[in-house]
Homo-oligomer: A and B are copies of this chain.
């Protein structure tokens, strides 16, 4: 597990993120929006706020944050069919992950009886679409809430923390951070980590489909993950100046 010696196809070290970009305000009609890039993976995140709550949530009088995730058909190497008719299990799993994580970051009571929807549409897929989507979705959420503060709809941004996500994996026996598609396709172990700015875990998902893994590998993967999250949190903070506001 001396992973620092590894040289990856794109020249990165084992613990390096791909080039990450967070471009805000890319959609005129969305309250908050962010084009996020993790290398060649590009996801368009857009936040809209609607009055009212889903029926089952109405009694709570607290707000709701939810996400929708879809891939443009030409975002993948081989054209992906649109999800008319039947949603794919994978898409729903990702939506649930993003929704849960953003709700952890939000003071739903302070949000009041409003529903924020974060649409995450994958423009280009090269591995790590869910982690990129979540990292950008937080920025879109922040900006939509900030717009509502400006519009005097709420007194202050009801966010309790930042959240960002990154993937880790065991590839050819090496522990790597932020897998691209080629790495992900042959990974023995695939893991996703969602954390806050204080290194607290919001979500951890790890799968050894090809081969199970022991606790020592789990620890090594987590070490890398925490480091990656820290850099993503810093980038988010750079574009939104969230921590300074808080």
Chain A residues within CB distance 8 Å of chain B: 27-30, 33, 40, 44, 46-48, 50, 68, 70, 72-77, 79, 82-87, 89-90, 92-93, 95-96, 100, 103-104, 117, 119, 121, 123-126, 161, 195-196, 199-215, 218, 222, 226
- Stoichiometry, copies per complex: 6
For chain A, what secondary structure do more than half of its interface residues adopt (helix, strand, loop), or is it mixed? mixed
Q: Which residues of B sit under 8 angstroms from A215, Cβ to Cβ?
A: 199, 201, 222, 226
With A27-B124, A124-B29, A222-B215 as known contacts, state yes or no: A74 contacts B208, CB within 8 Å.
no
Decide: A28 and B48 in contact? CB cutoff 8 A.
no
How far, in angstroms, from A76 to B124 measured CA to CA in the complex? 22
How far, in angstroms, from A46 to B75 measured CA to CA in the complex? 9
Decide: A29 and B74 in contact? CB cutoff 8 A.
yes
Q: Which residues of B sit under 8 angstroms from A83, Cβ to Cβ?
A: 84
Decide: A208 and B214 in contact? CB cutoff 8 A.
no
How far, in angstroms, from A113 to B124 measured CA to CA in the complex? 28
Q: Which residues of B sit under 8 angstroms from A119, Cβ to Cβ?
A: 72-74, 79
Can you sample 7 A-B contacts with CB below 8 Å? A28-B40, A73-B119, A89-B92, A104-B209, A161-B212, A202-B207, A204-B204
